[in-house]
Protein backbone atom coordinates (compact mmCIF):
# COMPACT_ATOMS: atom_id res chain seq x y z
CA UNK A 1 0.00 0.00 0.00
CA UNK A 2 1.28 3.43 -0.95
CA UNK A 3 -0.59 5.27 1.85
CA UNK A 4 -0.17 9.05 1.55
CA UNK A 5 2.13 10.22 -1.25
CA UNK A 6 3.48 13.75 -1.54
CA UNK A 7 5.37 15.29 -4.43
CA UNK A 8 7.83 16.87 -4.79
CA UNK A 9 10.08 16.01 -1.83
CA UNK A 10 12.17 19.16 -2.20
CA UNK A 11 11.67 22.45 -4.00
CA UNK A 12 13.33 25.86 -4.17
CA UNK A 13 11.12 28.75 -5.27
CA UNK A 14 11.90 32.35 -5.99
CA UNK A 15 9.84 35.06 -4.30
CA UNK A 16 6.61 35.61 -6.22
CA UNK A 17 6.60 32.27 -8.00
CA UNK A 18 3.72 29.83 -7.72
CA UNK A 19 3.60 26.09 -7.25
CA UNK A 20 1.34 23.22 -6.31
CA UNK A 21 2.21 20.61 -3.74
CA UNK A 22 0.60 17.33 -4.66
CA UNK A 23 -0.95 14.88 -2.19
CA UNK A 24 -2.74 11.65 -2.94
CA UNK A 25 -3.96 8.82 -0.72
CA UNK A 26 -5.15 5.35 -1.64
CA UNK A 27 -6.95 4.43 1.58
CA UNK A 28 -10.32 5.97 0.66
CA UNK A 29 -10.09 8.29 3.66
CA UNK A 30 -12.68 11.03 3.82
CA UNK A 31 -10.57 13.49 5.86
CA UNK A 32 -7.42 15.07 4.46
CA UNK A 33 -5.19 17.74 5.96
CA UNK A 34 -2.28 20.01 5.14
CA UNK A 35 0.15 21.05 7.86
CA UNK A 36 3.33 23.07 7.90
CA UNK A 37 6.16 22.42 10.32
CA UNK A 38 8.65 25.08 11.30
CA UNK A 39 11.65 24.28 13.53
CA UNK A 40 10.60 23.72 17.15
CA UNK A 41 7.00 24.69 16.44
CA UNK A 42 5.17 21.42 15.98
CA UNK A 43 2.67 21.12 13.12
CA UNK A 44 0.21 23.86 12.28
CA UNK A 45 -2.94 23.19 10.25
CA UNK A 46 -3.22 25.08 6.97
CA UNK A 47 -6.37 23.62 5.38
CA UNK A 48 -8.44 20.51 5.74
CA UNK A 49 -11.17 18.66 3.86
CA UNK A 50 -13.93 16.39 5.15
CA UNK A 51 -14.72 14.98 1.73
CA UNK A 52 -14.66 15.65 -2.00
CA UNK A 53 -15.82 19.18 -2.76
CA UNK A 54 -15.55 20.38 0.85
CA UNK A 55 -12.58 22.34 2.22
CA UNK A 56 -12.07 24.65 5.16
CA UNK A 57 -9.37 26.87 6.63
CA UNK A 58 -7.13 25.85 9.45
CA UNK A 59 -4.95 27.90 11.75
CA UNK A 60 -2.57 29.41 9.12
CA UNK A 61 -4.36 29.55 5.71
CA UNK A 62 -3.06 32.90 4.41
CA UNK A 63 -1.09 32.57 1.19
CA UNK A 64 -2.44 29.11 0.37
CA UNK A 65 -5.35 27.56 -1.49
CA UNK A 66 -6.65 24.01 -1.78
CA UNK A 67 -9.13 21.98 -3.76
CA UNK A 68 -10.64 18.51 -3.31
CA UNK A 69 -12.17 17.34 -6.55
CA UNK A 70 -11.72 13.64 -5.73
CA UNK A 71 -11.49 11.56 -2.56
CA UNK A 72 -7.87 10.67 -3.37
CA UNK A 73 -6.28 14.04 -4.16
CA UNK A 74 -5.80 17.18 -2.08
CA UNK A 75 -3.34 19.61 -3.73
CA UNK A 76 -2.03 22.70 -1.94
CA UNK A 77 -1.44 25.81 -4.04
CA UNK A 78 1.00 28.62 -3.24
CA UNK A 79 0.19 31.58 -5.47
CA UNK A 80 2.85 34.21 -4.65
CA UNK A 81 5.64 32.57 -2.70
CA UNK A 82 7.13 34.53 0.20
CA UNK A 83 10.15 33.73 2.41
CA UNK A 84 7.73 33.17 5.32
CA UNK A 85 6.45 30.11 3.47
CA UNK A 86 9.80 28.38 3.78
CA UNK A 87 8.84 25.29 5.74
CA UNK A 88 8.24 21.56 5.62
CA UNK A 89 4.74 20.68 4.45
CA UNK A 90 2.94 17.50 5.45
CA UNK A 91 -0.21 16.03 4.02
CA UNK A 92 -2.27 13.58 6.09
CA UNK A 93 -5.48 11.60 5.84
CA UNK A 94 -7.82 9.67 8.12
CA UNK A 95 -11.26 8.25 8.60
CA UNK A 96 -13.50 9.63 11.32
CA UNK A 97 -13.93 7.58 14.48
CA UNK A 98 -12.08 7.12 17.74
CA UNK A 99 -10.24 3.98 16.64
CA UNK A 100 -8.76 5.47 13.48
CA UNK A 101 -5.24 6.75 13.00
CA UNK A 102 -4.06 9.71 10.96
CA UNK A 103 -1.54 8.75 8.27
CA UNK A 104 1.12 11.17 7.06
CA UNK A 105 3.10 11.63 3.89
CA UNK A 106 6.87 12.01 3.92
CA UNK A 107 6.76 15.77 3.56
CA UNK A 108 7.81 18.44 1.07
CA UNK A 109 10.71 20.68 2.06
CA UNK A 110 10.15 24.09 0.47
CA UNK A 111 12.62 26.96 0.44
CA UNK A 112 11.62 30.39 -0.87
CA UNK A 113 14.54 32.66 -1.79
CA UNK B 1 -9.66 25.78 21.05
CA UNK B 2 -7.65 22.70 21.88
CA UNK B 3 -4.08 23.38 23.02
CA UNK B 4 -1.49 20.65 23.39
CA UNK B 5 1.69 21.00 25.43
CA UNK B 6 4.60 18.61 25.58
CA UNK B 7 7.13 18.54 28.39
CA UNK B 8 10.09 18.42 28.37
CA UNK B 9 11.00 20.09 25.08
CA UNK B 10 14.32 18.24 25.01
CA UNK B 11 15.81 15.31 26.85
CA UNK B 12 19.26 13.74 26.79
CA UNK B 13 19.80 10.47 28.63
CA UNK B 14 22.29 7.59 28.75
CA UNK B 15 21.36 4.31 27.15
CA UNK B 16 19.31 1.96 29.32
CA UNK B 17 17.26 4.55 31.19
CA UNK B 18 13.49 4.33 31.44
CA UNK B 19 11.86 7.52 30.16
CA UNK B 20 8.57 9.36 30.53
CA UNK B 21 7.43 11.93 28.00
CA UNK B 22 4.44 14.08 28.86
CA UNK B 23 1.59 15.47 26.79
CA UNK B 24 -1.19 17.65 28.19
CA UNK B 25 -4.30 19.04 26.51
CA UNK B 26 -6.85 21.66 27.50
CA UNK B 27 -10.12 20.19 26.14
CA UNK B 28 -10.90 16.74 27.56
CA UNK B 29 -13.61 16.00 24.96
CA UNK B 30 -11.22 14.04 22.76
CA UNK B 31 -11.79 11.16 20.35
CA UNK B 32 -8.28 9.82 20.55
CA UNK B 33 -4.64 10.65 21.10
CA UNK B 34 -1.83 9.50 18.86
CA UNK B 35 1.90 9.41 19.56
CA UNK B 36 4.31 9.85 16.65
CA UNK B 37 8.01 9.58 16.13
CA UNK B 38 9.87 11.87 13.73
CA UNK B 39 13.48 11.30 12.71
CA UNK B 40 15.47 14.34 11.48
CA UNK B 41 14.38 15.37 8.01
CA UNK B 42 11.78 12.62 7.83
CA UNK B 43 8.03 12.23 8.08
CA UNK B 44 5.88 11.13 11.00
CA UNK B 45 5.69 7.50 12.03
CA UNK B 46 2.72 6.48 14.15
CA UNK B 47 3.69 4.73 17.39
CA UNK B 48 0.50 4.30 19.39
CA UNK B 49 -3.14 5.31 19.22
CA UNK B 50 -5.24 5.55 22.38
CA UNK B 51 -8.98 5.85 21.99
CA UNK B 52 -10.87 8.11 24.40
CA UNK B 53 -12.39 5.04 26.10
CA UNK B 54 -8.99 3.43 26.74
CA UNK B 55 -6.51 3.97 29.56
CA UNK B 56 -3.35 2.68 27.92
CA UNK B 57 -1.78 1.04 24.90
CA UNK B 58 1.44 -0.95 24.63
CA UNK B 59 3.77 -1.74 21.76
CA UNK B 60 7.06 -3.43 22.56
CA UNK B 61 9.06 -1.15 24.86
CA UNK B 62 6.52 1.64 24.51
CA UNK B 63 3.53 2.22 26.77
CA UNK B 64 1.17 5.15 26.43
CA UNK B 65 -1.39 6.08 29.05
CA UNK B 66 -4.34 8.45 28.90
CA UNK B 67 -6.12 10.31 31.69
CA UNK B 68 -8.87 12.31 30.00
CA UNK B 69 -10.19 13.90 33.17
CA UNK B 70 -6.84 15.51 33.93
CA UNK B 71 -6.02 16.16 30.26
CA UNK B 72 -2.81 14.19 30.26
CA UNK B 73 -1.03 11.41 28.41
CA UNK B 74 2.38 9.91 29.05
CA UNK B 75 4.64 7.90 26.77
CA UNK B 76 6.85 5.52 28.69
CA UNK B 77 9.95 4.16 26.94
CA UNK B 78 11.60 1.25 28.69
CA UNK B 79 15.31 0.51 28.49
CA UNK B 80 16.09 3.31 26.05
CA UNK B 81 18.47 2.73 23.14
CA UNK B 82 20.42 5.12 20.87
CA UNK B 83 18.01 4.14 18.07
CA UNK B 84 15.20 5.76 20.08
CA UNK B 85 16.76 9.17 19.42
CA UNK B 86 14.13 11.23 17.60
CA UNK B 87 11.44 13.83 18.18
CA UNK B 88 8.24 12.50 19.74
CA UNK B 89 4.98 14.26 18.96
CA UNK B 90 1.53 13.80 20.42
CA UNK B 91 -1.62 14.72 18.53
CA UNK B 92 -5.12 14.99 19.94
CA UNK B 93 -8.32 14.65 17.91
CA UNK B 94 -11.09 16.57 19.58
CA UNK B 95 -14.79 15.85 19.48
CA UNK B 96 -16.65 17.46 16.62
CA UNK B 97 -13.72 18.18 14.32
CA UNK B 98 -11.60 14.99 14.09
CA UNK B 99 -8.64 17.23 13.24
CA UNK B 100 -5.34 16.31 14.92
CA UNK B 101 -3.89 19.12 17.05
CA UNK B 102 -0.19 18.73 17.74
CA UNK B 103 2.15 19.62 20.54
CA UNK B 104 5.60 21.00 19.74
CA UNK B 105 7.28 17.70 20.50
CA UNK B 106 10.00 16.35 22.76
CA UNK B 107 13.45 15.99 21.20
CA UNK B 108 15.10 12.88 22.66
CA UNK B 109 18.77 11.96 22.49
CA UNK B 110 19.89 8.63 23.92
CA UNK B 111 23.67 8.44 24.05
CA UNK B 112 25.67 5.20 24.31
Say how far apart CA B42 and CA B60 lie, in whole Å: 22
CA count, 13 A, side-chain hemisphere, B104? 10
A15-42 residue pLDDT tens: 999 999 999 999 999 999 999 999 878 8
In chain A, the residue whose alpha carbon lies closest to the alpha carbon of B30 is: A98
Of A42, A96, A107, the CB nearest to B104: A42
With an 8 Å Cβ cutoff, is A40 touching chain B?
yes
Are A85 and A76 within 8 A, CB to CB?
no
pLDDT tens-digit profile of B40-71?
Answer: 989 999 999 999 999 999 999 999 999 999 99
Give the length of chain B.
Answer: 112
Closest CA to A58 of A34, A88, A82, A91: A34
The answer to whether the CB of B87 falls within 8 A of the CB of A23 is no
- Nearest residue of chain B to residue A96 (CA atoms): B98
Query: Of B65 and A79, which is predicted with more confidence?
Result: B65
Amino acid sequence: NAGVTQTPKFRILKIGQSMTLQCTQDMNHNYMYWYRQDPGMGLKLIYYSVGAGITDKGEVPNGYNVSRSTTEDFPLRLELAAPSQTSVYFCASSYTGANTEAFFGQGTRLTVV
Amino acid sequence: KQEVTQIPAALSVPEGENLVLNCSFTDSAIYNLQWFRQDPGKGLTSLLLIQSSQREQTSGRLNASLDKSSGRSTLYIAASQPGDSATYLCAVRTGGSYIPTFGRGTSLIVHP
